[in-house]
């Protein structure tokens, strides 16, 4: 049987998700196995499916890491199992990435592979610092070198090159400076060290060959890029203006279900936020399809189909297809949806809703319903347990005959991940967002589980963290469980919640 597995050796770029290539992003979303290096930004890991196997192989100087031969074996083994494997390397795979050894192992095992370029810190770090590597008057050429074995390099030749870009060299900075000075480089040659390029914590240290070692003594510099040459002096003129995005430097915790958080993450990142994800919901099929199947078999008897969530849309149409039907089965049935996200999900099914209430909440649907409800037969696919009952009650009170059917269920994850729990404990989070009452309840349950159900410890843990709600019902649940809510969206959408956070942090600066 033909092996359909393939290995993609992907450059992760310089750090932030914004600088990942489109091809890299696509492959991460499709990966079945992800094998990644320690320097890869954690935000990139949020792109992979929850079902993707993630393997951290380290590969950072001076720290424990998986032996290269074992990494090669992992790539081959998973590819031969027919998996789509992404080998994620910081920067670009072909720049100090040891990719040759991995490709040789794949070729020997007759495994298909593809190399996907990434933006290397060699080019990006100087750019972020405002340092051009070439300049008509100051630099006709530049050389890129690894500084972790300075004794192997020809310093006489390197000293004659206009601009030097050094990776992995901060531990040997004093030795590098000594060798360049000994080979004739002038003592007041400008030097820049760019640490954590592209990230909010980026820092730039400048000096000369004479004083750069003293200027950075005792400072943790790695990961960093060293630039030596006259072009360093241009940084003050050419460096980009600091980001004016309001959420720059803020860390926002998103509690939506894993498969629903990408849009919200993108909205927040556009305003400069660092986003951490803690899925407080797990979306899954209902305990039984029987009642939904019966409703689908009798679709012609209904006047209206009401959909109040993107999950309801996805699971209803997935089941429709499973039963051999498609959108044509809804001929003669009008569709009402609650919320822009629900409407957009329906539109991806090539259907336009007949009615969207103006306030994006279920309560508004009854108040603004376009037809007399008396005698209307309504099909309502919904979450199996835990949804609000007020909509069905009000529709029924108005004389409608409502058939509720479970289309999916949402549960609470077993525990908080170690990364998120550490961020909460170390006060690294500025705001927590809630897009439904259920996410509030599940978050509360998970945190209390860690704290031994102590309300005092809960209050202390969330102190100085902004609690942000998507709408009135979610805010009410925040008040019940946390005794406060700091931000409520005026428009009850993810866009509205983003705007509310931007306004909040604008006012407290």
pLDDT at 468: 97
Q: For residue 39, is pLDDT > 50?
A: yes
Q: For residue 209, is pLDDT > 80?
A: yes
Q: Which residues of 247-282 are buried (b: 16+ CB within 10 A; e: fewer)?
A: beebbbbbbbbbebbbebbebbbebbbbbbbbbbbb
Domain extent listing, the chain: 6-119, 123-238, 251-281+413-507, 284-411
pLDDT at 260: 61
Same fold, 251-281+413-507 and 284-411: yes
**pTM exceeds cut of 0.85:** no
pLDDT at 36: 95
Set 168, 278, 341, 486: catalytic member = 168
SS (H, E, C) 46-81: CCCCCCCEEEECCCCCCCCCCCHHHHHHHHHHHHHC
127-139 tens-digit pLDDT: 999 999 999 999 9
Contacts (Cβ under 8 Å, ≥6 apart) of 320: 296, 326, 327, 329
Alpha carbons 95 and 388: distance in angstroms, whole number: 55
Mean pLDDT of 460-487: 96
pLDDT at 509: 58
Mean pLDDT of 486-508: 92
Q: For residue 1, is pLDDT > 50?
A: no
Alpha carbons 463 and 400: distance in angstroms, whole number: 46
In the structure encoding, which two tokens stand for residue 76, read together? Answer: 């081959």
Q: Residue written as tokens 């929850």?
A: 50
Q: Which of these ranges, 64-68, 143-147, 250-254, has the smallest mean pLDDT?
A: 64-68
In the structure encoding, which two tokens stand for residue 415, read together? Answer: 């525990």
102-117 tens-digit pLDDT: 999 999 999 999 999 9
Q: Name the band, by pLDDT with cuts 50, 70 and 90, for residue 249.
A: confident
Q: Which of these ranges, 195-204, 250-259, 304-313, 357-366, has the smallest mean pLDDT?
A: 357-366
> What sign has the CA pseudo-torsion 145, 149, 152, 153?
positive
Burial classification of residue 89, based on how many CB atoms lie within 10 Å of its CB (0-12 exposed, 13-18 middle, 19 or more buried): buried
Q: For residue 92, is pLDDT > 60?
A: yes
Active-site residue, 37 included? yes
Alpha carbons 153 and 469: distance in angstroms, whole number: 57
What number does CATH give the domain 251-281+413-507?
3.40.50.10090
Mean pLDDT of 325-351: 90
Q: Name the band, by pLDDT with cuts 50, 70 and 90, for residue 395.
A: very high
DSSP for 334-376, please give it: EEEE-SHHHHHHHHTTT---SB--TTSSHHHHHHT-SS--TT-
pLDDT at 106: 97
Fold for domain 284-411? Rossmann fold (3.40.50)
pLDDT at 303: 96
Which residue, 240, 249, 125, 142, is CA-closest to 194?
125
The C-alpha angle with vertex 311 and arms to 327 and 347, in degrees rounded to 5, equals 45
Identify the helix (H) or strand (E) that includes residue 446. Answer: helix 437-451
Measured from the Cβ of residue 498, the count of other Cβ atoms closer than 10 Å reads: 22
Active-site residue, 188 included? no
pLDDT at 500: 95
Active-site residue, 203 included? no
Alpha carbons 13 and 97: distance in angstroms, whole number: 12
**Architecture of the CATH domain 6-119:** 3-Layer(aba) Sandwich (3.40)
Q: Which of these ranges, 50-64, 98-112, 226-240, 327-341, has the smallest mean pLDDT?
A: 50-64
57-86 tens-digit pLDDT: 986 655 677 899 999 999 999 999 999 999
User: In terms of CATH, what superfamily is 123-238?
Assistant: Tetrapyrrole methylase, C-terminal domain (3.30.950.10)
Set 41, 43, 59, 83: catalytic member = 59
Average pLDDT, the chain: 91
Identify the helix (H) or strand (E) that includes residue 103. Answer: helix 99-108
Alpha carbons 46 and 165: distance in angstroms, whole number: 31
Q: For residue 2, is pLDDT > 60?
A: no
Q: Which residues of 106-145 are buried (b: 16+ CB within 10 A; e: fewer)?
A: beebebebebbbbbbbbbbbbbbbbbbbebeebbeebbbb
Interhelix angle 262-270/494-507, rounded to 10 degrees, is 30
439-473 tens-digit pLDDT: 999 999 999 999 999 989 999 999 999 999 999 99
- Give percent above pLDDT 70 in the chain: 95
Alpha carbons 188 and 211: distance in angstroms, whole number: 9
pLDDT at 101: 96
């Amino acid at each position: 049987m033909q092996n359909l597995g393939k290995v993609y050796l992907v450059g992760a770029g310089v750090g932030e998700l914004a600088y990942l290539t489109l091809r890299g992003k696509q492959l991460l979303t499709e990966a079945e196995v992800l094998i990644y290096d320690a320097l890869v930004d954690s935000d990139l890991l949020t792109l992979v499916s929850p079902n993707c196997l993630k393997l951290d192989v380290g590969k950072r100087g001076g720290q424990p890491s998986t032996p290269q031969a074992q990494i090669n074996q992992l790539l081959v083994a998973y590819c031969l199992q027919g998996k789509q494997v992404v080998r994620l390397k910081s920067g670009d795979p072909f720049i100090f990435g040891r990719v040759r050894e991995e490709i040789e192992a794949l070729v020997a095992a007759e495994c298909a592979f593809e190399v996907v370029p990434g933006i290397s810190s060699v080019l990006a770090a100087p750019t972020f610092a405002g340092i051009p590597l070439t300049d008509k008057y100051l630099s006709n050429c530049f050389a890129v070198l690894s500084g972790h074995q300075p004794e192997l390099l020809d310093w006489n030749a390197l000293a004659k090159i206009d601009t030097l870009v050094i990776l992995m060299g901060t531990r040997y900075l004093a030795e590098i400076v000594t060798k360049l000075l000994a080979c004739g480089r002038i003592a007041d040659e400008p030097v820049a060290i760019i640490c954590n390029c592209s990230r909010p914590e980026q820092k730039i240290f400048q000096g000369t060959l004479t004083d750069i070692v003293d200027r950075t003594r005792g400072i943790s510099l790695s990961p960093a890029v060293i630039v030596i040459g006259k072009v360093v002096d241009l940084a003050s003129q050419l460096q980009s203006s600091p980001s004016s995005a309001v959420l720059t430097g803020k860390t926002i915790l998103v509690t939506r279900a894993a498969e629903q958080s990408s849009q919200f993450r993108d909205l927040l990142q556009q305003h400069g936020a660092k986003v951490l994800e803690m899925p407080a919901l797990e979306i899954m099929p209902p305990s039984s399809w029987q009642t939904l199947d019966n409703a689908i078999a009798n679709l012609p008897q209904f006047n209206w189909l009401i959909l109040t969530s993107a999950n309801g849309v996805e699971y209803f149409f997935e089941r429709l297809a499973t039963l051999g039907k498609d959108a044509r089965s809804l001929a003669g049935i009008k569709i009402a949806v609650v919320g822009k996200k629900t409407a957009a999900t329906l539109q991806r099914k090539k259907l336009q809703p007949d009615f969207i209430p103006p306030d994006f909440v279920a309560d508004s649907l009854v108040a603004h319903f376009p037809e007399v409800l008396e005698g209307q037969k309504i099909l309502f696919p919904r979450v199996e347990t835990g949804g609000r009952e007020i909509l069905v009650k009000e529709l029924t009170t108005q004389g409608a005959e409502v058939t509720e059917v479970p289309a999916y269920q949402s549960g609470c994850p077993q525990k908080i991940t170690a990364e998120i729990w550490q961020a909460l404990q170390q006060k690294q989070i500025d705001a927590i967002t809630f897009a439904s009452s259920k996410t509030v309840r599940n978050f509360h349950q998970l945190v209390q589980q860690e704290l031994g159900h102590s309300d005092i410890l809960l209050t202390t843990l969330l102190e100085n963290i902004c609690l942000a709600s998507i709408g009135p019902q979610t805010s009410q649940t925040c008040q019940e469980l946390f005794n406060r809510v700091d931000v409520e969206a005026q428009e009850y959408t993810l866009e509205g919640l983003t705007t509310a956070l931007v306004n909040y942090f604008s006012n407290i600066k």
